[in-house]
Amino acid sequence: MALAFDEYGRPFIILKEQEQKTRLSGLEAQKGNISAGRAVSRILRTSLGPKGMDKMLQSPDGDVTITNDGATILEQMDVDNQIAKLMVELSRSQDYEIGDGTTGVVVMAGALLEQAERLLERGIHPIRIAEGYEMASRIAVEHLERIAQKFDFGPTNIEPLVQTCMTTLSSKIVNRCKRALAEISVKAVLSVADLERKDVNLDLIKVEGKVGGKLEDTELIYGITVDKDMSHPQMPKQIEDAKIAILTCPFEPPKPKTKHKVDIDTVEKFQTLRQQEQKYFDDMVQKCKDVGATLVICQWGFDDEANHLLMHQNLPAVRWVGGVELELIAIATGGRIVPRFQELTPEKLGRVGLVREKSFGTTKDKMLYIEHCANSRAVTIFIRGGNKMMMEETKRSIHDALCVARNLIRNNFIVYGGGAAEISCSIAVEAAADKYPGVEQYAIRAFADALDAVPVALAENSGLQPIETLSAVKSQQIKENNPHFGIDCNDVGTNDMCEQNVFETLIGKQQQILLATQVVKMILKIDDVISPSDY
């Protein structure tokens, strides 16, 4: 191999001629691809688990992001290599589908690739390896279903859900107050969840953040916050039992789409036009007043005159509210979005218990809280944090926790975390391998080894002896025939994950294994890489 490693563990090439090469084929291509894939997984490996480290990413514009969320790291990494891009896609699809385990899936794929490389060196055909992996993944997924436990919770008994969210949050920087955040996430998910249909629309949960304050000040608002203030500084700052008119038409004279011209050639016309204009504003405001609205929320701006008229009529108004927020407000208040003043009717108004303006810190930041909605399905998680990076990271962590809670509502089977599920699968796959005749047997066995990579990485990151710990846990699992044993990352003293309350969702874990296998299969099947030579 033309690879050597320097003292920092970075590989470099001895053969200079490779610089000119733009086409790799055969084994060479596979090895190149594998090493690229592994390089990506190596970056994420140290971020795995509760003691995982963070990565600092600097964007092209110089903004700094600090995170240990696999999907975010890869997305912002500005990756150029095609295979590496596949890995990025992999973590992204895990993020879209499950929302959590984005780091684990990449580490897993990296381990599978590493094992594949060894098999390739032994002369096993890549397709055979791919097939073996496929079989093994099926075994593992089935095994997971066997060891999964049904998990009971109800709207009143949220404790199990909170525990699971805490497992997710414990690997993030926010683990200082993971309990509080987990509770917030679970409450948020439960209040928007449709427990009959077992579905959760996460769009109804808005995650907002404002720099400043402490992480502990993060709160769940049964309602919506809008980062806007009243259009006129002297409008009332607090409205109780508000009836909201939600408008998508501006408080301005009409602007017909068709081209037209209004010609003024006499003084009379000039005057009628002026009166018309004034009447127009009056009409608009009067319409809102007539239907009984006590708050106007508008997607567009107001004319100065209209603004004053609103103020005058004692009708508070908010302008320039974004489309997404408008929809959320409509959902929460049970109102309808009204595109034209003519269509405004009392039934279309949204109802809300309390609207208030709140200001923060010493700056002039103000936000509008819309609370006690008629239909309290929409909630907002309002995050405070010491600095911008902290807040962004909290947002990501909360998102993960929300996804986990959602998955549990969709499918309430769980497996045990801390590497327990992987170890158990690895044992099952290893045992099953011997039953397969043919070359695939080796691939299946390699798959079992690759499954060990996650617990090994967990142990490594937690400062434990990786191999010793893994073998101890593995033998314990076999001896006691109990798939609850995992790596004791937090040094609690027991490695029974059941006692430590470290859970993961079954579908999350299954998805991890399936996605990782798929990508690895795809990478293995490539035997020729032709890239444009830009040197």
Partner 1 sequence: AQQSKAKPQGQKTLALLLFCVLSGIRISDFPKHRAYDQIEKILKDDASEEKGERARMASFVGAIAITDLVKTTLGPKGMDKILQSTGRGHEVTVTNDGATILKSLHIDNPAAKVLIDISKVQDDEVGDGTTSVVVLAGELLREAEKLVAAKIHPMTIISGYRMAAECARNALLQRVVDNKENAEKFKSDLMKIAMTTLSSKILSQDKEHFAQLAVDAVMRLKGSTNLEAIQIIKKPGGSLKDSFLDEGFILDKKIGLGQPKRIENAKILVANTAMDTDKVKIYGARVRVDSMSKVAEIEGAEKEKMREKVKKILGHGINCFVNRQLIYNFPEELFADAGILAIEHADFDGIERLALVTGGEIASTFDNPESVKLGHCKLIEEIMIGEDKLIHFSGVEMGQACTIVLRGASHHVLDEAERSLHDALCVLSQTVNDTRVLLGGGWPEMVMAKEVDELARKTPGKKSHAIEAFSRALVAIPTIIADNAGLDSADLVAKLRAEHHKEGCNAGIDVISGSVGDMAELGISEAFKVKQAVLLSATEAAEMILRVDEIITCAPRKREDRM
Residues with catalytic roles: 69, 102-103, 400
**Rounded Cα gap, residues 279 and 275, in angstroms:** 6
Binder of partner 1 out of 22, 201, 387, 471 (CB under 8 A): 387
Which pair of tokens denotes residue 508?
Answer: 């999350």
CB closer to partner 1 out of 128 and 179 = 179
Q: How many residues does the chain have?
A: 535
CB closer to partner 1 out of 122 and 261 = 261
Q: Does 68 bind partner 1 (CB under 8 A)?
A: yes
**HSE toward the beta carbon, residue 308, CA cutoff 13 A:** 3
The residue among 506, 502, 458, 514 whose CA lies nearest residue 168 is: 502
Q: Does 529 bind partner 1 (CB under 8 A)?
A: no
CB closer to partner 1 out of 359 and 494 = 359
Binder of partner 1 out of 62, 123, 437, 493 (CB under 8 A): 62
Binder of partner 1 out of 29, 66, 472, 498 (CB under 8 A): 66
CA of 477: how far to CAs of 141, 147, 323, 509, in Å? Answer: 18, 12, 53, 19
SS (H, E, C) 14-53: CCHHHHHCCEEEHHHHHHHHHHHHHHHHHHHHCCCCCCCC
Binder of partner 1 out of 25, 58, 201, 533 (CB under 8 A): 58
Measured at the CA of 258, the angle between CA 252 and CA 263, to 5 degrees, comes to 75
Taking the complex as a whole, how short is the minimal distance between the CB of residue 195 and partner 1, in angstroms? 37
Taking the complex as a whole, how short is the minimal distance between the CB of residue 298 and partner 1, in angstroms? 17
Binder of partner 1 out of 25, 78, 290, 434 (CB under 8 A): 78
SS (H, E, C) 428-468: HHHHHHCCCCCCHHHHHHHHHHHHCHHHHHHHHHCCCCHHH
The residue among 349, 375, 337 whose CA lies nearest residue 223 is: 375
CB closer to partner 1 out of 41 and 333 = 41
Count of residues interacting with partner 1 (CB under 8 A):
98
**Rounded Cα gap, residues 93 and 96, in angstroms:** 5
Residues 233-272 that bind partner 1 (CB under 8 A): 233-234, 252-256, 259-267, 270-271
Q: What is the per-residue binding string for partner 1 in 432-461, x denoting contact by CB under 8 A?
A: ------------------------------
Applying CB under 8 A, the span of 64-72, 338-346, 408-416, 435-443 interacting with partner 1 comes to 64-72
CB closer to partner 1 out of 153 and 281 = 281
Applying CB under 8 A, the span of 1-9, 112-120, 287-295, 334-342 interacting with partner 1 comes to 1-9
Taking the complex as a whole, how short is the minimal distance between the CB of residue 117 and partner 1, in angstroms? 14
Residues 101-140 that bind partner 1 (CB under 8 A): none
CB 108 within 8 A of CB 425: no
Binder of partner 1 out of 30, 34, 43, 94 (CB under 8 A): 43
Applying CB under 8 A, the span of 43-51, 135-143, 426-434, 510-518 interacting with partner 1 comes to 43-51
The residue among 63, 56, 380, 69 whose CA lies nearest residue 209 is: 380
Binder of partner 1 out of 30, 34, 51, 111 (CB under 8 A): 51
Which pair of tokens denotes residue 477?
Answer: 């699992």
CB closer to partner 1 out of 216 and 343 = 216
**Rounded Cα gap, residues 337 and 340, in angstroms:** 9
Q: Would you give the DSSP letter of residue 100?
A: S
CB closer to partner 1 out of 156 and 362 = 362
Q: Does 32 bind partner 1 (CB under 8 A)?
A: yes
Q: Does 532 bind partner 1 (CB under 8 A)?
A: no
**For the CA atoms of the chain, what is the radius of gyration?**
29
Query: Which amino acid, one-letter code, is at 29?
Result: A
Residues 165-224 that bind partner 1 (CB under 8 A): 173, 176, 211-215
Binder of partner 1 out of 34, 48, 73, 506 (CB under 8 A): 73
Residues 341-380 that bind partner 1 (CB under 8 A): 359-365
DSSP for 334-353, please give it. Answer: T--EESSGGG--GGG-EEEE
CB closer to partner 1 out of 357 and 422 = 357
The residue among 423, 427, 412 whose CA lies nearest residue 507 is: 412
Taking the complex as a whole, how short is the minimal distance between the CB of residue 263 and partner 1, in angstroms? 5
260 burial via Cβ count (<10 Å: 0-12, 13-18, 19+): exposed
Binder of partner 1 out of 30, 34, 46, 370 (CB under 8 A): 46
Q: What is the per-residue binding string for partner 1 in 286-325, x denoting contact by CB under 8 A?
A: -----------------xxx-xxx-xx-------------
Which pair of tokens denotes residue 20?
Answer: 């000119």
CB closer to partner 1 out of 68 and 424 = 68
- Residue 219, φ and ψ in degrees, nearest 5: -140, 160
Taking the complex as a whole, how short is the minimal distance between the CB of residue 282 and partner 1, in angstroms? 9
DSSP for 470-528, please give it. Answer: HHHHHHHHHHHT-TTB---TT--S--BHHHHT-EEEHHHHHHHHHHHHHHHHHHHH--E
Q: Does 28 bind partner 1 (CB under 8 A)?
A: no
**Rounded Cα gap, residues 398 and 108, in angstroms:** 24
Residues 393-412 that bind partner 1 (CB under 8 A): none
**Rounded Cα gap, residues 509 and 417, in angstroms:** 9
